[in-house]
Copies of this chain bind each other. A is one copy, B any other.
Amino acid sequence: MLNILHRVGATSTSPDAAFTALTTIDGLAGWWTRDTTGSADVDGVIAFRFPPGGFDMKVLELVPGKRVLWEVVDGPPEWIGTHVSFDLRQEGEYTIILFEHRGWAEEVEFMYHCSTKWASYLLSLKQLLETGEGAPSPDDVQISDWH
């Protein structure tokens, strides 16, 4: 099993504020994609849409201020059945976000792309938490021909 891992830290915020950005439709639309709909409660399904397509995430676990876990239930074949999680904690003046996208079957080139793209979106989340303004799709940073 192959995993994408990232770590960012944001100042002027809190694990509770980060949790809100990860567990409300408005919060998610502020850093990942503006086209976010669905139910962000446990057992709900959140639909994230981007110009080239999208992902449906089932919410498996929510621990307020601490952890969010999703399972990918629809999207590109490489993503289906994989898990995405965010672990939150405070470390001095930084709210630390540990990100995991677990369960890739193969090191396909799309995995390389998604790894870089996740980093870019997590920096958008950091920016949202620190300044109130993220860079969600379609206003995200274009990193290559695959957007």
Contacts and interface: CB of A to CB of B under 8 A. Distances in A.
Interface string A91-114: 111101011000000010101110
B145 A8 contact: no
Interface residues of A, number: 33
A7 B120 contact: no
Contacts of A107: 3, 5
A143 B116 contact: no
A105 to B, nearest CB: 14
Given A119-B119, A120-B119, A123-B120, A8 B143 contact: yes
B123 A8 contact: no
A143 B3 CA distance: 20
Contacts of A96: 144-145
Q: Which of A115, A120, A123 has the most CB of B within 10 A?
A: A115
Copies of this chain assembled into the complex: 2
Contacts of A146: 7, 9
A42 interface: no
A122 interface: yes
Given A96-B144, A123-B143, A112 B5 contact: yes
Interface in A1-54: 2-10
A111 B5 contact: yes
Interface of A: 2-10, 91-94, 96, 98-99, 107, 109, 111-113, 115-116, 119-120, 122-123, 126, 141, 143-146
